[in-house]
Amino acid sequence: MIKTGILVLIISILTMSFSPLISKGDVLKVDVANSTIKWTGYKPTGSHTGTISLQSGELKMEEGKLSGGSFIAEMSTIKDSDGSAKLEGHLKSEDFFDVATYATAKFEITRTEINDGKTLVTGNMTIKGITKQIAFPAVISENGDSVVLTSETFQINRTDFNVKYKSKSFFNDLKEKFINDKFDLQVTIVASK
């Protein structure tokens, strides 16, 4: 009887030792303090970079693979890396993201596909109340009971979301004073149980 009990205990310990900490069907909460969204906007005379903080989110894992999730960006946290309060204020204004009306932006994962060790993440991006499908490649890594989604840099067309300020797609007389329609995003999402 004692031998059977010890055998069951040893098998249980071995099973736990070799089982993944992230199991089938786990929903992990996004660690907003350690997750980042980096942006870069372009114009003929240069570029601006900065960050936006996350408000909340979750990642869904199935058998060690990303299967879904969503995250919400708090648009009032738009920061310019150079610390320009004027630029930050302009980005929050009606000319750009109209933060007073549209306080958040959201990305909801609808599909994932693994290719050459990377995960192609497809989902619905909502900015200023407009939703468009986008996709980007990412690396998904596990560390204990945490998962990190690190995207490659990908581009968003701001005019798809009614951000028209100084866009050559809408204004013909800008000459060299336009701002590129496409801007870069790079997302790092940390989530844990």
pLDDT tens digits, one per residue of 45-93: 899 999 999 999 999 999 889 999 999 999 999 999 999 999 999 999 9
Residues above pLDDT 90, as percent of the chain: 70
Average pLDDT of the segment spanning 27-41: 96
Average pLDDT of the segment spanning 113-136: 96
Mean pLDDT (the chain, rounded): 87
DSSP per residue over 123-139, as a string? EEEEETTEEEEEEEEEE
Pairing of strands 118-127, 146-151: unpaired
Helix (H) or strand (E) holding 5: helix 2-18
Q: Where are the domains of the chain?
A: 21-192
Nearest to 138 by CA among 169, 99, 111: 111
CB 31 within 8 A of CB 190: yes
Longest dimension (CA), the chain: 89
Residues above pLDDT 70, as percent of the chain: 84
Superfamily of domain 21-192: Lipid/polyisoprenoid-binding, YceI-like (2.40.128.110)
CB 116 within 8 A of CB 125: no
